[in-house]
Structure 1
Amino acid sequence: MNAKVMPQVTPRTVAVVAPYYPPKVGGVENYAAQVARAIADAPDLRPVVITTGATRLRTRVATEDGVLVVRLGTWLRLSNTPLSPLWPLQLRRWLRRTGAEVVNAHAPVPGLPDLAVLLAGRRPTVLTYHAGSMHKGEPGSGLADRLIGLYERRVLPRVFSRAARLVAVSPVSLASGQPHCEEISPGVDLARFTPGGPASARPRSVVYLGRMDRSSAWKGVDVLVRAFAEVAAELPEARLRLVGGGDAVADHVELAKRLGVADRVEATGELTGDRLAEALRGAAVLVLPSRSEAESFGMVLVEAMACGTPVVGSAVGGIPCVVTDGENGLLVPAGDVAALATACRTVLTDGALADRLAARGLEVARKRYSWPVLTDRYVELFRSS
């Protein structure tokens, strides 16, 4: 008797469209990469990533970590927004060429993700929105804020209405509350971000991890440098490590010089992989001093928690959704130098508190933010779209 031959099922192709993608470092980049890897691991799905590249005209295509990545040329950048007039034609061509059947776009950077939703045709789209309002509210940002306001009032509602499904990364995401939206937070790689020694036994190092661009001044790194100067006045052994790249790094180093603490401030540049995890494991406290609703979550907070590192964050945006003040971290008013200095000094000098915050943070990271649990929800979304 002939054995019954089971029909082969062609995997469904999902196009992950993001303005940036690794090796560029950032929360949205890491989130999109985790989704792409989850698709690659699903036997009935196949990923393709469409993102931007550094070259002006040439499209570069390569397989990276088992995922096909198409990097479209970028003609110019406005602030943090890459742009090209060729993208409408290129997106249509690459969606067709790769056989994409579902589109997962990642925003808020305007441009490529919006086009992906608007040009998807009959393909179902899942739009992941990563931020609250992108208003900067910084000196000199008047024109940028007006353009952002126009985009959020006029363009974004159309994009939201065109998407079949919306995903908000936190309750402060502008997608949150839409009728066809669900919340899937960022997560952490618990195999890489593992606990270090007791927080109370670590050298008194304050660590910031994230981009330091002038266009992202709302990250509040200048507030942290000023707060650290107050901490250093009382704790001569304290050190500040600024981990990340960007055109504002030199500005922060210069500010440290003016405040007389340059010899205690280290700008390491970008760290990735195991070196990044080691930096978090060795920190006495991780600080996220953002001062804008654009900080809708703060993935680095969860990565630090998974390393058993106490965290201090601003009470703004999505940070309070991750950090419960006095329980798994400390919260301070956004932009308040004195309050931030007090919180850092407290964690550095109160060993019992530091260890308690670290233990609770580790518990929260393991229970709520494991990447496989979160990306499994995406896989089901793509299967049902």
Structure 2
Amino acid sequence: MMKILQITAYYPPSLGGIQTFVQRLSQYLAERGHQVDVLTVNTDHAPAQEAGTSGIRITRTPLDLNLYRAVFSRSFAQKLMSASGYDVFHVHIPFHVGLETAVLAARRNRTPLVATHHGQGLRGSPLYTMMAHTYSWFSQNISLRGVDVPVFLTPSYAHSLNLPAVVQQRMQIVRTGAEVQQFSAGGMGTAIRQTYNIPASDPLILFVGYLGKSNRYKGIDYLLKAFVSVRQQSANARLLIVGGGDWLPELQTLAERLEIADRVIFAGPVENGRLPDYYAAADLFVLPSISGPENSPVVLFEAMASAKPVVATTIPGVVDIVKHEETGLLVPPKDVPQLAAAITRIVQDKDFRQRAGRYARQHTEQYTWKHCAQQMEQIYQARAMNKPMVGTLS
């Protein structure tokens, strides 16, 4: 048995890909007999101390500053610096200053440090975006040198970062996990269509993701523009956008200006437990990201596990997951005509849609959380051999 400290800016009840990754990884590790503690920042007014499922212990420190979803907490740094006796620290980035604090804490406590790189710095105002990019460069070229095992989720994402040789020599690729069984169970797609008054014969295009201004790189505005052309080819097509955030009002205004508001549904945020029903209701899923790398978006695995073909863009990370002409279609980022053409093709070609959906479902079988956790466990064990097992958060 090992004592493992997961270090992350976000954790449920906060929603998002990193949150899901850390929670599922922690659950599987705990079920395999390890003691898992989670140190995070309290962004959602959740209990400061909580005993999670499978005996996971969660500590949430007070939030001092949340700037475009980059969180800062002085007490978090204090807790981490005083954490002792763990066999391994595992920090999840991007986490502004969190990575650097983890490096210092690991050195101070002589604890092996693993870091999973989930993505680059967040976007916001032009000034903040510039600062975030500067920090991303620093963390990738300087801070990661202090990490024993840098972990990346896809090869193309890792290679796109032009990492220093010392980081490349240490890095490992660990495929992210997906709740394949949860999303392949079928869901209650009929109920979702009834909720939004969508006839069974109407093609339904789905997007799921956080609609914050820091996530403009997701390209939802390009999806709305492409949907104008899709409507011209398939008049009864509907677009269902799941997610909330401060970008939402602007997107709703754009839909009205494009005169497609009557065929676009903004569902708002949806709990993870209800998402299988939304995927089940859809005919295809679209991830129109305009910049990257995207690394390993969980929503792609959720859609593919639901046997839905995917339309996505040719950016690092995504190209390792979506197989063009097999599990869906890939188009250049920011190319509205090609995005529209790809969506229209899947909407109109039932045989290709069903075949790509079947292949997508089969493809996700290599992306289970169990397999992900086993790979991480092997990394931990290789670094933590002969370490004491008395992990505590003081």
TM-score w.r.t. the length of structure 2 is 0.86
Going from structure 1 to structure 2, the CA distance change for 1:202 and 1:317 (only over 3 Å counts) comes to farther
Q: Which has the higher helix share?
A: 2
Do structure 1's residue 105 and structure 2's residue 91 form an aligned pair? yes
Q: Distance in 2 between matches of 1:54 and 1:149?
A: 23
Counterpart in the other structure of 1:182: 172
The 5 Å alignment of 1:146-295 reads 146-171=130-155, 172-173=157-158, 174=161, 178-194=168-184, 196=186, 203-295=202-294
Counterpart in the other structure of 2:197: none
- Displacement of 1:59 after TM fit? 7.9
Counterpart in the other structure of 1:7: none
Q: Distance in 2 between matches of 1:27 and 1:143?
A: 26
**Contact (CA 8 Å) 2:210, 2:243: kept in 1 or not?**
yes
Equivalent residue letter for 1:369: Y
Q: Distance in 1 between matches of 2:314 and 2:140?
A: 26
Going from structure 1 to structure 2, the CA distance change for 1:55 and 1:272 (only over 3 Å counts) comes to closer
- Displacement of 1:179 after TM fit? 0.8
Query: Which residue of 369, 372, 380 maps to 1:371?
Result: 369
Counterpart in the other structure of 1:64: 52
**Contact (CA 8 Å) 1:184, 1:374: kept in 2 or not?**
yes
The 5 Å alignment of 1:322-333 reads 322-333=321-332
Going from structure 1 to structure 2, the CA distance change for 1:202 and 1:370 (only over 3 Å counts) comes to farther
Alpha-carbon deviations, 1:178-220, whole Å to 9, x = none?
111110121211220116499xx87400000111101110010
Q: Secondary structure of 1:123's match?
A: coil
**Contact (CA 8 Å) 1:129, 1:175: kept in 2 or not?**
no
Counterpart in the other structure of 2:391: none
Do structure 1's residue 25 and structure 2's residue 15 form an aligned pair? yes
**Contact (CA 8 Å) 1:42, 1:379: kept in 2 or not?**
no
Q: Distance in 1 between matches of 2:32 and 2:99?
A: 24
Going from structure 1 to structure 2, the CA distance change for 1:215 and 1:18 (only over 3 Å counts) comes to same
Identity value in percent? 28
Q: Which moved more, 1:244-253 or 1:347-356?
A: 244-253
Going from structure 1 to structure 2, the CA distance change for 1:228 and 1:303 (only over 3 Å counts) comes to same
Do structure 1's residue 117 and structure 2's residue 116 form an aligned pair? no
- Displacement of 1:135 after TM fit? 7.6
Q: Distance in 1 between matches of 2:43 and 2:144?
A: 28
Q: Distance in 2 between matches of 1:327 and 1:202?
A: 24
Equivalent residue letter for 2:382: S
Q: Secondary structure of 2:177's match?
A: coil
Counterpart in the other structure of 2:192: none
Q: Secondary structure of 2:307's match?
A: coil
**Contact (CA 8 Å) 2:99, 2:143: kept in 1 or not?**
no
**RMSD after superposition:** 2.3
Equivalent residue letter for 1:169: L
Q: Secondary structure of 2:180's match?
A: coil
Query: Which residue of 359, 380, 383 maps to 1:382?
Result: 380
Counterpart in the other structure of 1:34: 24
Q: Secondary structure of 2:90's match?
A: strand
- Displacement of 1:293 after TM fit? 1.5
Q: Distance in 1 between matches of 2:44 and 2:253?
A: 31
Q: Distance in 2 between matches of 1:90 and 1:115?
A: 10
* Unmatched 5+ stretches in structure 1: 1-10
- Displacement of 1:117 after TM fit? 2.6
Q: Distance in 2 between matches of 1:303 and 1:59?
A: 29
- Displacement of 1:88 after TM fit? 2.4
- Displacement of 1:90 after TM fit? 2.4
* Unmatched 5+ stretches in structure 2: 190-199, 384-394
Going from structure 1 to structure 2, the CA distance change for 1:175 and 1:33 (only over 3 Å counts) comes to farther
- Displacement of 1:148 after TM fit? 2.6
